[in-house]
Chain A
Amino acid sequence: MIVSGPVRRPPLAVVLVAVSMLALGETAGAAMSQLRPQVQRYAAARIAANAPAHGFSGSAEYDDEVRDRAIFTAEAGLSFFHLHAEGVGLILFFASTLVACAVLWRCERVVLYLLLTLGGLFPLGYLAYGAAVLEVGRDAGIEVAERWILTPLGISAIAGLLGLLLSAARPRA
């Protein structure tokens, strides 16, 4: 029988990001359900305030379609945020615990905590995605969020997980 010793924990800052992400994810889920009309009204108001960015033509039929698509995309951003925050919060929690247990060198641990914590902020990119769609238009908003937030934070998460994998796979004395 294998009996494990005490399981080391990651620094509190990492735990705080993981728990906050879970709390934000839960809150976003509740907001999506309970505040849906308010969210849609707010989105419609922001789209109206940024009409040129959305390329309104003055034709009611076309403009309605553009508005509906932008609102749908903004709501999708909130929905992705809910889903990813719950998952990434858990990944950060368990992966950083593995780092605390399996990575022997302090410097290496610090780098991995940093990469994983930055990756743990990845879901915030979807909040930015939803907001950017309303402010700068659907395609431009998606482009901004993907290029400047989702891609760098996603790469950070992948690098942290690969680093953990390599570190855990290294032969020990």
Chain B
Amino acid sequence: MSEALPPTWRVPPWWVLLVGVLAIVCAELGGASMVRFKVELTRWARGAMLARPAVHGLVGVRDVDERILDEALVRFDAGLRLFHMHAEGMGLVIIATSMVAATVIRHAAARRAIIALLTTGGAGYPVGYLVWSALIPSHGLERAKTLAEWLIWVPFGSATIVALWCLAGTVAWSMLARRRA
């Protein structure tokens, strides 16, 4: 910490930038696909749900079943929208925060660990929304959410949160160290 911090940003490793840009590209493609293939996606999800009536609690009464199917389709669509939104945001978060980590964290192993957590967490988390959507037709609303939550959202989201707070702590520590020096 005794070495002065550079007055310029340091660029993070190229693969980190690549992952950040890839997340943004996937988000854009996801957004475009949602619009272009809306009918096909809805038809596929509806067909898959009708093929598994027990999973969705379908009873064979049209009025009741349509309401259940509508709710599941709204969530299916919401998952795709949330993927689009989160992947765009997290791509930028990866780029910005890994630049901060590359500049501020002087210890090489700590820097690598924080950058790895920020990148994997940031890129993995939005995928949870795609998984959630994809699992709704085959596993039902609640089970799909639980699976996405424990397989993706909790591990990748926790990685991002831990890395961000460590980064904030390091920036605060660097400020204090500069003031003391």
Interface residues of A (CB under 8 A from B): 6-9, 12-13, 15-16, 18-20, 22-23, 26-27, 29-30, 33-34, 86-87, 89-90, 93-94, 97
Q: Which of A8, A13, A30, A87 contacts B161 (CB 8 A)?
A: A30
Please tell me if the beta carbons of A16 and B93 are within 8 angstroms of each other in the complex.
Answer: no
Closest to A5 in B: B8
Please tell me if the beta carbons of A19 and B157 are within 8 angstroms of each other in the complex.
Answer: no
Is B104's beta carbon under 8 Å from chain A?
yes
Please tell me if the beta carbons of A90 and B93 are within 8 angstroms of each other in the complex.
Answer: yes
Contacts of A13 in B (CB 8 A): 175
Is B167's beta carbon under 8 Å from chain A?
yes
Contacts of B175 in A (CB 8 A): 12-13, 16
Interface residues of B (CB under 8 A from A): 5-9, 89, 92-93, 96-97, 100, 103-104, 149, 153-154, 157-158, 160-161, 164-165, 167-168, 171-172, 174-175, 178
* Residue among B8, B103, B153, B158 with max Cβ neighbours from chain A (10 Å): B8
Please tell me if the beta carbons of A9 and B7 are within 8 angstroms of each other in the complex.
Answer: yes
Given A23-B165, A33-B153, 18 more contacts at CB 8 Å? A7-B8, A7-B9, A8-B8, A9-B8, A12-B178, A16-B168, A16-B171, A18-B96, A22-B93, A22-B164, A26-B157, A27-B165, A29-B157, A30-B157, A34-B154, A89-B96, A90-B93, A93-B96
Contacts of B97 in A (CB 8 A): 19, 22
Kindly count the residue-residue contacts between A and B in the assembled complex, taking CB atoms under 8 Å apart: 69
CB distance from A173 to the nearest CB of B (A): 23
CB distance from B141 to the nearest CB of A (A): 15
Closest to A23 in B: B164
Closest to B153 in A: A33
Contacts of A33 in B (CB 8 A): 149, 153
Q: Which of B8, B96, B178 contacts A6 (CB 8 A)?
A: B8
Please tell me if the beta carbons of B168 and A86 are within 8 angstroms of each other in the complex.
Answer: no
CB distance from B121 to the nearest CB of A (A): 9
Contacts of B103 in A (CB 8 A): 9
A-B CB proximity, top 5 nearest: A23-B164, A6-B8, A16-B171, A93-B96, A12-B175
Q: Which of A20, A30, A86 contacts B93 (CB 8 A)?
A: A86
Closest to A12 in B: B175
Closest to A20 in B: B168
A136 CA to B100 CA in the complex, in Å? 40
Contacts of A34 in B (CB 8 A): 154
Of the A-B pairs whose beta carbons lie under 8 Å apart in the complex, a sample of 26, sorted by A's number, is A6-B8, A7-B9, A8-B7, A9-B6, A12-B178, A16-B168, A16-B171, A16-B172, A19-B97, A19-B168, A20-B168, A22-B93, A22-B164, A23-B161, A23-B164, A26-B157, A26-B164, A27-B161, A27-B165, A29-B157, A33-B153, A86-B93, A87-B89, A90-B96, A93-B96, A94-B96
Please tell me if the beta carbons of B160 and A97 are within 8 angstroms of each other in the complex.
Answer: no
CB distance from B96 to the nearest CB of A (A): 5
